[in-house]
Structure 1
Amino acid sequence: MYLSNIFSDPEKMERLLDILLSSLLPLLKGALYYTIPLTLISFIVGIFIAVLTALARISGNPLLSIPARVYVSIIRGTPLLVQLFIIFYGLPTIGLVIDPFPSAVIGFSLNVGAYASEVIRAAILSTPKGQWEAAYSIGMNYRQALRRIILPQASRVSIPPLSNTFISLVKDTSLASLILVTEMFRKAQEIAAQTYEFLYLYTEAAVLYWVICFGLSLVQGRLEHRLDRYVAK
């Protein structure tokens, strides 16, 4: 009934189009200034955490492997939204106040680090033991073998699942709106609160998320194709 009223009334239709067109630029700014930078920074920091965590888990040293295992278990066993709330709303109760954007970066980075560490750990363990033995036979130590032989091979195995993690992170950044980060979905919420066109503005935001993720999926496909050709050679 609501949709039929909109499409049958030229004035309402014109008003709706004006709202959608006028909101497009603020939504794009929210994506360019917050959503995309938040995704990139969190992913880069998260991958760094993931590599360290994966190496700690396979090190065989309980002082390293046990804390890494606990960290992964806690992050993977609790909702991302709860983690963001603890960082932004919980820590100030003990005197540690963090601004919205850094809070989001910390939360997303820790989350990516836990999940990506399992991908990287599996990729490292999938490398044939003969690669280690070959590296040691030519005089490399553990660090040299890891840096020059093992990690380059593991990276090719882990790129496809890590690409999926990156695309998922783009969508997860919408949760940052709940800790006052003015990213794309937060912009949609603010405009919808003024115009009361929640359905159309949220749909517009959803379409923009889809466009971004679709573009990233195309890049992922090309990257995986190149990796397949490289491995085949």
Structure 2
Amino acid sequence: MVDGLLVSLEVTGVALFIGIPLGLILALGVQTKSMFARATSIFVVEIGRGAPALILLQFAYYGLPSTGISLTSFAAAAAALSWTTAAYTSEIIRAGLQAVPHGQKEAAVAVGFTSLDALRYVIVPQGLRVAAPALLGFAILMLQATSLCFAIALPELLSQAYMIGTTTFQYLPILLLAGLLYASICIPATILVSSLERRLGRHTA
């Protein structure tokens, strides 16, 4: 069970490591003046948000081999959940960027920053600060979503629990233990997010 929890944490970590930076790129792409970049970004975001994560998981693991691309269950899980993460966090980040007062960019340009430097050093850092609590909250949801990887035979926590249950026929205590293991991570993380929201709220007031 602990090994399964570690796999769940590893998949979550990879999905966030890839998905959040990609989400930032997509958030900027949606707001760019380039028609091609904006249309591409919107397409990627809408597919990632519109398709259930379970469908993306099965597409990556069962669908791609028909095109000659075969992924391990871990790689398929990482790819699918990274796409889901990127799609949802792009909207969170975009909201954070839009929350930065327009005067901040004007002030940066007034002191000699280029538009790109203003974006890199003023807008993005402040926008990510605003978006941080929501991003952390989404990270908790992604840990819970790793239970969907049971469908592609990844040995994560739920898969391990089910395997133990089939050999012992003690499904109730095993599944309760799995729930407690998820809760042991998610509840402290939720408290941390709430604390961060209060702290950032005081600084922005």
Residue 218 (structure 1) aligns with: 191
Residue 91 (structure 1) aligns with: 64
Residues 159-218 of structure 1 deviation map (CA, whole Å, 9 limit, x = unaligned): 111111101001000111211111111110110110112222112111211121001112
Q: Tell me, which stretches of 5 or more residues in structure 2 are unaligned?
A: none
Give, in whole Å, the separation in 2 of the partners of 1:143 and 1:185.
45
- How far is 1:229 from its partner? 3.3
Segments ≥4 residues shifted beyond 3 Å = none
Residue 62 (structure 1) aligns with: 35
Q: Does 1:190 align with 2:163?
A: yes
- How far is 1:123 from its partner? 1.2
Q: Which amino acid aligns with 2:4?
A: G
Q: Does 1:48 align with 2:8?
A: no
Give, in whole Å, the separation in 1 of the partners of 2:134 and 2:195.
14
Per the normalisation by structure 1, the TM-score is 0.85
Give, in whole Å, the separation in 1 of the partners of 2:185 and 2:151.
21
Residue 121 (structure 2) aligns with: 148
Q: Does 1:80 align with 2:35?
A: no
Percent identity for Structure 1 against Structure 2: 33
Q: Does 1:105 align with 2:78?
A: yes
Give, in whole Å, the separation in 2 of the partners of 1:203 and 1:213.
15
- How far is 1:36 from its partner? 1.0
Aligned residues: 205
Residue 182 (structure 2) aligns with: 209
Q: Which amino acid aligns with 1:175?
A: L
Give, in whole Å, the separation in 2 of the partners of 1:98 and 1:148.
38
Residue 165 (structure 1) aligns with: 138
- How far is 1:40 from its partner? 1.2
Give, in whole Å, the separation in 1 of the partners of 2:178 and 2:86.
27
Residues 84-119 of structure 1 deviation map (CA, whole Å, 9 limit, x = unaligned): 000000001121101111111101100010000011
- How far is 1:221 from its partner? 2.2
Give, in whole Å, the separation in 1 of the partners of 2:158 and 2:64.
24
- How far is 1:228 from its partner? 2.6
Per the normalisation by structure 2, the TM-score is 0.96
Q: Which amino acid aligns with 1:101?
A: F
Give, in whole Å, the separation in 1 of the partners of 2:122 and 2:199.
20
Q: Which amino acid aligns with 2:116?
A: R
Give, in whole Å, the separation in 2 of the partners of 1:60 and 1:125.
16
Q: Which amino acid aligns with 1:208?
A: L
Residue 24 (structure 1) aligns with: none
